Amino acid sequence: MLYLKTARRLYIFFLISVLASLCPAAAEDFKTAANSPAAKITGRIETLMTEENIAGAAVFIVKNGAHVYSRAFGFADTGNKIKFTFDKTVFPAGSLSKVITALGVLKLVENGALNLKTPAADYFANSVLPETVSIASLITHSSGLANCSKLYASNQNAAAKTPRMKNFIEKNFPRFDARAVNVKFEYSNFNYALLGHIIETTVDKNFDDYIKTALLDALSMRYSSFDRDYFFKNSAGERYEVFFAAPGGSVSYDACEGAGFKRHNMPPASGLITCAADISGLACFLTSLNALNSHKTIDASLARAAARLFEKALPVKKGAAPVLDKFPEIDFMTYGLRHSLYKSHRVFWHTGSVNGFSCGLYIAAENGLAFFTAYNSSNAKFRQRLVKYLFDEFFTAVK
């Protein structure tokens, strides 16, 4: 029985390798064949969506920089019967935004403009932070700073364009615990607000503008932005559906353009809007970093920065991260990702959640494998059950 189970999983691995090498048309034919691995995955996703009451979702699987599975399900807006699409449904990434922010910091580090060991207080006048709180402390959530829940401006009709974060930071500094610095993990959005300010100070431009030029454009993430106003103006004619976790669900971009919606106080922490297709491009990049000559068109400093997303930076004690998913349980932080072991395989991951929307990206770097899902619900069980299913399908347990 064990032999048959192992053989079946190895067979799935083999099929994935074949798919990755096929031309797109041939791969698509294979994925639509009856009883194919893709058909099995689709069936399981549909079952989980029904059981967990999920109206719409997008899922992809990437292997060594190539898509082996990508599909959208259901509706972005059930009331208006707007389908959830892989490349046209734009959603809030929530805390998955932190991966992009961390990558932006690491790129400046690789270019010599920043140093992870530099005290964060160097970038703030009259700071209460001691010199032991470094840029690395902020990235790994070990700064001793408590979380700040003021993600959105209280004025719902505030301008869409987010100003620089200095004023917000000065007025909303949270509780600080000096005993926790560099030894205790405490998840805090404020850490990434500070990182955004450090980026702005270093490059002397808005966070949004730097991220667009240095990362999003470089990775061809065309329909991703930390600046919603920019997104609307540059999506004219595309009619991309945008979900803002507000009553009424998804609406087309032109219904939002110029209309009032909440301004994000800390965009580096959770302000990214994106689509599944753009995140899949990021995953393809991250799962092929070890491939020789695979990124001739990508700036070398960006490739080096991405590799640092997988470096161990801060051990996390069991049970020390109660606000994060219990599956898979985190054991250490990298410079931007969480790390867990599942069946002896190393998994690097990050999730995002806002009221009414969730997503999660999971990367098994040594296997060249990545999973992602985004869906219009705050129900974390769907993400956890789906990821566990995919892990069990694609990982062979090491006895």
What DSSP string describes 127-151? ----TT-BHHHHHTT-SSBPP----
Q: Find, among 210, 220, 112, the residue nearest to 165 by Cα.
A: 210
The rounded distance, in Å, linking the Cα atoms of 40 and 268 is 37
Q: pLDDT under 50 in the chain at which residues?
A: 1-30, 157-160, 237, 239, 242, 244-261, 292-293, 397-399
What one-character DSSP code corresponds to residue 147?
A: P
Q: What is the pLDDT of residues 155-203, one digit of tens each?
A: 554 444 555 677 788 888 889 999 999 999 999 999 999 999 999 999 9
3-class SS of residue 288: coil
pLDDT tens-digit series, residues 386-398: 999 999 998 753 3
Report d(CA 303, CA 300) in Å as an integer: 5
Query: Which domains, from first to last, does the chain contain?
Result: 37-101+220-394 (3.40.710.10), 102-211 (3.40.710.10)
The arrangement of strands across the sheet holding 250-252 comes to 250-252, 241-243, 89-92, 273-275
For the entire predicted model, the pTM comes to 0.85
CA angle 314–317–319, rounded 5-degree value:
130
Pairwise CA distance, residues 90 & 259, whole Å: 17
pLDDT score of 290: 66
Query: Is residue 248 classed as helix, strand or coil in its secondary structure?
Result: coil
